[in-house]
Amino acid sequence: MKCKRCRKAAAAVDLPSHHSAFCPDCFFVFFRRQVEEGIRKFSLLEPRDRVLVCVSGGKDSLVLWDILMELGYDTEGLYIDLGIEGYSDRSGEKIAAFAASRGKEPIVVDLRREGVPIPEAAKRSRKEECSVCGTVKRYFFNRVAATRGFTVVATGHNLDDEAARLLGNLLHWHGDHLERQHPLLPGEGGGLVRKVKPLWRVSEMETAAYGFLKGIDYVTEECPMSEDATSLVYKEALSLLEEKMPGTRSRLYMGFLTKKGTFLNFLTSAEINEAPPSGAEHPGTCAVCGAPTYAETCGFCRLKEKVGRGAVR
Amino acid sequence: MILVRMPQKKKELTLPGPKRVLDILAAAGVRPTTVLVTQGTRLLTKDQRVEDGETVDIISVVSGG
């Protein structure tokens, strides 16, 4: 198969959803354009932004950091060491090597030192690991960004992640989640920093192919805590659809973004009507740590409190 | 025989060659949209033919959580 763009070199990546196939050089052009278009479409980033890129050691976040640097953004990487024996150490090593090869050093938050390593925090708080992980990560993403002068937090969520999340939100009619699902979450004053997902137009396979062809050494093993993650079930279902009907994933998510306003007007759940519209209401401050929150105490402090008094299951 | 390695699953299998990548994936029970198929530093497209005696790696691209 020849590259559909240059029509000279052999194709290395075939993309049925785009009716296309590219050689490595042309694929880099394609991928870069997709990310640039994703950023432009919703004004995710401005040239003067200081971008905090949240890196896990996996393909998506390292590819995101790599391409944002290539596009000329002022970036630093933040690694949250989850305290998962073996896995977290290997992830940290990959990130350190990646950063060093680009003259950078990641900012590291060690959850063992913070008293909330994920496996122990989940046991003590009697919550699911992925839920605890989400709470802790969101807290530190914002705290590090706010205290170190970053204007925006960027995460490596890709098209597959967002389509799977959308499918889950639709299946359970999570109206408030649907309302907030977007590649751009504006900063809301009160210390909440803007959050963006610049890879929302590119698939997981495209991101992995870009990482592989660029020689980015990422962690290929899956987080041992996420084996039963429901997002994997939604991804599996969407993969089946994608295989039979290429482009389904993209049409689902991009269609949602285009028709979101109209669609949400059809939903009449009290959940949606009661949810504060994004950006319309400023958060208060946590009574314990001072972080922005819509409750009296932020989710992270409530978790820490549970971890402190919780008995191991 | 073609040696097919799936490092994340810690599995290997051997298949009679030659075979197209798509047929290798079918034999391995893997959805084509969820993996990269690599040979050394090369990425293989799904229509490429793998010869007897060659080795390919199937790398899952799906991450959860």
The CATH number given to whatever domain includes residue B14 is 3.10.20.30
Reduce the DSSP state of residue A39 to 3 states and report it.
helix
**CB-CB neighbors (< 8 A) of A237 in chain B:** none
Check residue A227 and give its pLDDT.
77
Whether B33 maps to a domain, the answer reads yes
pLDDT at B65 exceeding the cut of 70? no
The residues, any chain, with a CB within 8 Å of residue A164's CB and separated by 6 or more, are A231, A234, A235, A238
Reduce the DSSP state of residue B1 to 3 states and report it.
coil
Instruction: Verify cis geometry, omega within 30 degrees of 0, for the bond prior to B18.
Output: yes
Mean pLDDT by 10 residues, chain A (313 residues): 95 94 97 98 97 97 98 98 95 98 97 94 92 94 96 97 96 90 89 96 97 95 84 94 94 94 65 46 88 93 89 49
Whether B54 maps to a domain, the answer reads yes
Whether B11 maps to a domain, the answer reads yes
Q: Is the separation of the CB atoms in A149 and A242 below 8 Å? A: no
Check residue A274 and give its pLDDT.
42
* CA A260 to centroid of chain Cα atoms: 20
Indicate yes or no: CB of B65 within 8 angstroms of CB of A223.
yes
Check residue A163 and give its pLDDT.
97
Give me the phi and psi of B58, to 5 degrees please: -110, 115
**Nearest by CB: A239 against B34, B43, B45:** B34
Q: Is the separation of the CB atoms in A2 and A9 below 8 Å? A: yes
Burial of A158 per CB tally in 10 Å (0-12, 13-18, 19+): buried
Whether B49 maps to a domain, the answer reads yes
Check residue A240 and give its pLDDT.
94
Q: Report the domain count for chain B.
A: 1
Indicate yes or no: CB of A130 within 8 angstroms of CB of B38.
no
Q: Is the separation of the CB atoms in A288 and A306 below 8 Å? A: no
Check residue A261 and give its pLDDT.
78
For chains A and B, CB pairs below 8 A equal 79
Whether B65 maps to a domain, the answer reads no
CATH architecture of A38-214+247-309: 3-Layer(aba) Sandwich (3.40)
Tokens for A267, please give them: 């939903």
Domain boundaries, given as residue ranges, for chain A: 38-214+247-309
Nearest-Cα distance to chain A for B5, in Å, is: 14
Q: How far apart are CA A250 and CA A232, in angstroms?
A: 17
Whether B40 maps to a domain, the answer reads yes
Q: How far apart are CA A145 and CA A51, in angstroms?
A: 9
pLDDT at B4 exceeding the cut of 80? yes
| Chain A from 226 to 245: CB within 8 A of any B CB | 226-227, 229, 231-232, 235, 239-240, 242-243
Which one is predicted more confidently, B2 or A263? Answer: B2
Q: How far apart are CA B6 and CA B34, in angstroms?
A: 13
Domain boundaries, position B40: 2-60
Buried b (16+ CB within 10 A) or exposed e, A178-211: bbebbbbbebbeebbbbbbbbbbbbbbbbbbbbb
